[in-house]
Structure 1
């Protein structure tokens, strides 16, 4: 059903889309771009400064988290800045779908890494003598591969559904990047299957990972409560809890406001989605550097002006 669109306007694979940036805030977009640029540069510099001598399992998971974070922001921030600063709003159809794939697959991968870090804390606290034996480098490599494969396999059906929609309406995306539903709404076919799949997949991933994380912390609490090492053991989990809250709370709000938030203004939805993807990438390494002695004393913190004392 082309719903009154002319034949010349109809295309199952549009040549290009137009990104509007932040709808309703065009006059302020030039200044809004500066925090996103700063966030991106800090995320990249902090990762470059990560000391390669840190070889504990938790450091391997932190390296995974850093790589996922940088890939996530790299997939959106450079194009976002070109839209907000240079008014370069056009993005090719294939590039738009690739960006969508990278954004949504890396969010799944970030959740997987947070789950792996919860397992790391469980093993370190509940089975300290077997910590390195259980979380060997081979095991960590398998966990990393599983996280990446899950992100890719979850996204393949969604991208297939979106790329096969016929686009006969305006190709203007009221967003600063190719967010799934913002693109799907432009189709002249019913976007509800991809919408339902997106919500179901996101809810399943987040729900499953949060459930396993909660189970890990439940076993940690059961092990340490009433013991003299309780405070020390729980303090080692503080960074992980902060990072989880920073990721899951804005993420859940963003997902459901994009899908069902008709009462939330479009500028608020776009800004929430942008902050959800960019802010944690800068704050995650800062949080860990403040609370983890090995990282605080590494060259990683030279970008923060911390001498490790």
Structure 2
């Protein structure tokens, strides 16, 4: 009977999230800019979705991918920020075991989805600039929706094993997660068993997603740059480059903190822990906040529609 008990995997009923280790005294005030960023992200992305939905002229691949990005951003930020604010303001640090695994799944799955959508948007710009006459035939609406479905499926299939691997590991009563949300490696550090499979699969998934998507994005923009340099006039070159400038800003805002977080968990032991957690938090807040601002400013059709809506309401 004792052997049966020792072979049973032990899970705590709940975990305790620290917040930002080392900054517990000041995280009450840190929560205010986080809350503002979250509000901008939710309002901005919902506005983008609403405008794309009501404006028939925006029912094109570029804007459909933008709508997918907006949905992903809302899910990604909402899966962490409300609980994070509860920790910072109310000291509500406890999170159930299943709720923690659910949050972990949503964070990593929709981070993967966001990377896939950014890759799809780069491909859309590549086809639009390099093959403008064939753009509508190559990227039709059904093809665009199929790409979105594949990106979502990829995220779910790649991240699901993480939750399965964590569920089969013993925690031996360890409950304190040194993080603001249930990030995979932060949870795995509490395990008292062999976590080699989790570490290997986490690295494999991270480098496969980021490596493949960044490679496709880089090749797409290299081909775009080559095509733009062949355009006859400076005005035409500037116009082509300006259509990609907003996408480039979004890509940099997403991948830099993503790579920093991924590599710091495994190799950056000399980096202050509070700095790592702050970047990890901003990774889930900064792109969702910037995306609607950048695309709203850089995309004339969306900008005009927003101004028109405000004028109708007398604002």
| 2:223 counterpart residue number | 219
CA distance in 2, matches of 1:300, 1:46: 14
Distance in 2 (CA, whole Å) between partners of 1:255 and 1:166 is: 24
Aligned to 1:282: 289
Is 1:126 the counterpart of 2:133 in the alignment?
A: no
Q: 2:32 aligns with which of 17, 34, 50?
A: 34
Match 2:167 to one of 159, 163, 167: 163
> Unpaired segments of 5 or more residues in structure 1?
1-6
* Structure 1 SS opposite 2:109: helix
* Paired residues of 1:12 and 1:163 also in contact (CA < 8 A): no
Task: Report if the CA contact (8 A) 1:73-1:277 is conserved.
Answer: yes
1:193 aligns with 2:191: no
Deviations, residues 102-132 of structure 1 (Å, cap 9, x unaligned): 0001111111000000011011111112222
| Partners of 2:45 and 2:185 in 1: CA distance | 31
Residue aligning to 2:142: 138
Shift, 1:300, TM fit: 8.0
Partner-residue secondary structure (3-state), 1:237: helix
Cross-structure match for 1:291:
298
Aligned length: 298
Divergent runs of 4+, >3 A: 300-303
In structure 2, list runs of 5 or more residues that go unmatched: none
Q: Helix, strand or coil for the counterpart of 1:175?
A: coil
1:47 corresponds to = 45
RMSD: 1.9
Change (3 A) 1:302 1:266: farther
Q: 1:1-309 to 2 correspondence within 5 Å?
A: 12-50=10-48, 51=51, 52=53, 53=55, 54-227=58-231, 228=233, 229-299=236-306
Equivalent in the alignment of 1:4: none
Q: Do 1:166 and 1:188's aligned partners in 2 also have CA atoms closer than 8 Å?
A: yes
Q: Distance in 1 between matches of 2:13 and 2:144?
A: 41
**Larger helix proportion of the pair:** 2
Q: CA deviation at 1:45?
A: 0.8
Distance 1:26 1:243 in 2: 31
Distance in 2, Cα, partners of 1:83 & 1:225: 51
SS in 1 for 2:98: helix
Residues 88 and 11 (structure 1), Cα distance of their counterparts in 2 relative to 1, 3 Å cut: farther
Q: Give CA deviations for 1:157-193 in whole Å, capped at 9, x if unaligned.
A: 1111111110104211011100111110101102222
CA apart distance, 1:301? 9.1
TM-score (normalizing by structure 1): 0.92
Q: Would the alpha carbon gap of residues 14 and 141 (structure 1) be closer, same or farther in structure 2, given more than 3 Å must change? A: same
**1:250: Cα distance to partner?**
1.1
* SS of match in other structure, 2:80: helix
